[in-house]
Amino acid sequence: MTRLYKYFFRGLITVLPLALTIYLLYLFLAWTEGVALTFLRPFIGGFYVPGMGLLLGILGILAIGYLVSKERVQRFLTLVEMPFTNLPVVKSIYSSLKSFADYFSPSSKNTAQQVVILRIPGQQLELVGLVTRRGMDGLPEGFTQGERVAVYLPMGYMIGGYTVFVPQEWVQPIEMSVEEAMRSSLIAWMARSETGNGRPVPPAGPPAPAAQQPAEAAHPANTANAANAANAANPANPANPGAPGSGPV
């Protein structure tokens, strides 16, 4: 029975990520298809081919991306964004989402984004974070003292994170993409096996202690020291010729 439970959970762990990924992808595609058809129905009438809404939606997004790359369209887009950037509640939501999207945008000119190791002097620990700001330009006066960099420290399973402002010498860049760092943080940097099956492997245990050898074999000098002590304690010992009474009678 224990073996059956083991096989069941192993199969569940293997199938569950695939099933959830396919299901979420299906929901997204169905939603995109429905939204696209809602706008296209007045133009196409009853004509419909499965996947047409998704295809036209992708083409529409590509067209929007091409248009917003033009300077004139960007000016018009700024006017469209004005209601979203001025209303009290909507401003916070829209600005946060836009900043988050711009941070991961391939065309973003923000060169500050970088994966780093944060080492705090005097502390035997290392933290992996993302540099989100270099310099204090644009922040209120007296916000921090000295030149700092802003480092975002994501928590495991993306339940939150911390942003700390630290000196530049505390951080060390590492060769890792932002996407890889976020993905590793999502699973709390869980170790992966090298066989490619994607299953976590337990951390290596402490090394087994080496077999202790006898004191005499491990330290030959101890034998000589013990012999000298015995000779000093027994003056009549023939092996101690320098002691009184050791000569012939």
pLDDT in tens, 122-136: 888 889 998 888 877
Q: What's the confidence (pLDDT) of residue 157?
A: 73
Averaged confidence pLDDT in the chain = 74
Q: Which residue has the higher pLDDT, 181 or 247?
A: 181
Phi/psi-derived region of residue 229, left when phi > 0, alpha when psi is between -120 and 50, beta in every other case: alpha
- Phi, psi (5° rounding) for residue 162? -130, 145
How confident is residue 140, by pLDDT bands cut at 50, 70 and 90?
confident
Q: Which residue has the higher pLDDT, 41 or 221?
A: 41
21 burial class (0-12, 13-18, 19+ CB within 10 angstroms)?
A: exposed
Residue 249 CB partners (closer than 8 Å, separation 6+): none
Q: Which residues on adjacent β-strands are paired with residue 154?
A: 161
Q: What's the confidence (pLDDT) of residue 24?
A: 93
Distance (Å, whole) CA 222 – CA 216: 6
Distance (Å, whole) CA 55 – CA 81: 27
Measured distance between the N- and C-terminal CA atoms of the chain, rounded to whole angstroms: 87
In this predicted structure, the answer to whether residue 237 has a pLDDT above a threshold of 60 is no
Q: What's the confidence (pLDDT) of residue 214?
A: 46
How confident is residue 104, by pLDDT bands cut at 50, 70 and 90?
low
- Beta strand residue intervals within the chain, DSSP E: 114-119, 126-134, 149-154, 161-166, 171-173
For the chain, percent of residues with pLDDT exceeding 90:
7
Residue 84 CB partners (closer than 8 Å, separation 6+): 90, 91, 94
Question: Two tokens at 73?
Answer: 């369209």
- Looking at residue 197, what DSSP letter applies? S
Contact 171, 150 (CB under 8 A): no
Q: What is the pTM of this model?
A: 0.48
Least confident of 61-65, 108-112, 188-192: 108-112
User: Quick one: which of 88, 155, 89, 102 has its CA closest to 132?
Assistant: 102
- Phi, psi (5° rounding) for residue 95? -65, -40
Alpha-carbon Rg of the chain, whole angstroms?
A: 35
Q: List, for residues 150-176, the tens digit of each pLDDT value.
A: 898 888 776 778 889 999 899 999 988
Question: Rounded to 10 degrees, what is the CA torsion of 89, 92, 98, 100?
Answer: -140
Locus of tokens 């066989």: 195
